[in-house]
Structure 1
Amino acid sequence: MKTLVLWSSRTGNTKAVAQAIYDALPGDKEIVEEGREKDTAGYDLVFVGFWGFRRGADMAARRILSSLHNHKVAIYGTAGTYPDSPAARDYLANAAALLPKDSTCLGTFICQGRVHSFHIGKRSEHAEKVHPMTPERLARLREAEKHPNEEDFQKAAAWALEMVEKAGC
């Protein structure tokens, strides 16, 4: 089986998860940062990683997801939200919805990760109106600073092996 792991990362979170996935994969495999030109033809399974952006994938990941015709795809991401939250489900569902109809999403995975300092530091008046810094939000962002961690990497690796099995290659 020939597998490709793509990733896009703003703070290094998704890059680290991509490496854990890549390290767990058997067989012929390659890892490439999204945004670099890469022909995906000939790969049996393509992993696409993103950092959470506006309840979906970042722009680089959006471009690659929408271009993956006739592929088996596994989608993973990192975001400051809790992995079992409605927001996390939105990130993954919105990313998966970008795939062309002739591709198959085999599964999704998300883990919490530290967020860009903009979300914690000085913020614009608009940002404060849209997402006020409540005690709950601050606690979630502080928890996100601890991720991804070794447990997250192990979960990502186990998920990657499940995706390989689902791909049946």
Structure 2
Amino acid sequence: MKVKVIYCSHTGNTVQVAKAIAEGLPVTSVLQKLQAGFSDEDARIDEDDLIFAGFWVDKGSCPEEMAELLRGVHHRKIALFATAGFGQDPAYFAQIEQRVRALIPDSNRYMGAFFCQGKMQISVRHRYEEIQKQNPEDLKIKQSIENFDLASTHPDDQDLNHAKKFAKEVYQAALDK
């Protein structure tokens, strides 16, 4: 079975998960970075049986270059993986999965998704701090700062080990059906 791990990474979090997924596979896979202007021909996805498509969460979904790629994939097995700054709520991840999964044409077989938290750029914390100065009693901004600090250690070893396990399970399921 030919396997490709395609990803787009904004801050480096998703590339860490992509590498872990590639390492978790029992076969050699192709690890490929998706960039603006990337075409289906560049991906050569028509040669692959199983595609792991990874992205950073952008406004509750995937970046447009990943959306374009997913819309163009047909007759493949596809698994998603992603990193998000806000990662403590499984319901949040489920909403993202649902939005991105809807981009995948029905001719494909959806194999599941793996999500984990990822660190954010320090400019995000600075923006939160400025908002907090204006509204010191705002509990939502206080929670956002706490989440930022929690996210600063992710993806961690546990996240990466879970990604490897996910890759093995998806690969086995792809063989079984």
The TM-score normalised by the length of structure 2 is 0.85
Equivalent position SS for 1:53: coil
1:116 is displaced (CA, Å) by 3.0
Cα distance 1:90–1:138, how it changes in 2: closer, same or farther (>3 A)?
same
| 1:155 aligned onto 2:136 | no
Deviations 1:1-45 (A, max 9, x none): 110000100000000000000011122411100134211012110
**Which protein is bigger by CA-based radius of gyration?**
2
Assess if the C-alpha contact under 8 Å between 1:81 and 1:88 holds in 2.
Answer: no
Matched with 1:108 is 113
* Residue 21 of structure 1 pairs with residue 28 of structure 2: no
> Which blocks of at least 5 consecutive residues in structure 1 are unaligned?
none
Q: Distance in 2 between matches of 1:82 and 1:57?
A: 15
Amino acid at match of 1:43: D
Structure 2 Cα separation of the partners of residues 118 and 86 of structure 1: 26
- Determine the structure 2 residue equivalent to 1:11: 11
Does the aligned pair in 2 maintain the 1:77–1:92 contact within 8 Å?
Answer: no
| Alignment partner, residue 87 of structure 2 | 82
TM-score (norm 1): 0.89
Identity of matched residues, %:
27
2:65 and 2:153 mapped to 1: Cα distance? 25
Which has the larger share of strand? Answer: 1
Measured in 2, the distance between the counterparts of 1:86 and 1:138 equals 20
Tell whether the 8 Å contact from 1:83 to 1:110 is kept in structure 2 after alignment: no
- Are 2:87 and 2:118, in contact at CA under 8 Å, matched by a contact in 1? no
| Residue ranges of structure 2 left out of the alignment (5+ in a row) | none
Determine the C-alpha separation between the residues in 1 that align with 2:59 and 2:123: 14
Match of 2:75 among 70, 78, 92: 70
**Whole-angstrom CA distance in 2 between matches of 1:115 and 1:57:** 16
Call closer, same or farther: CA 1:25–1:83 in 2, change over 3 Å.
farther
CA distance in 2, matches of 1:168, 1:83: 32
SS in structure 2 of the partner of residue 55 of structure 1: coil
Q: State the match for 2:141 in structure 1.
A: 134
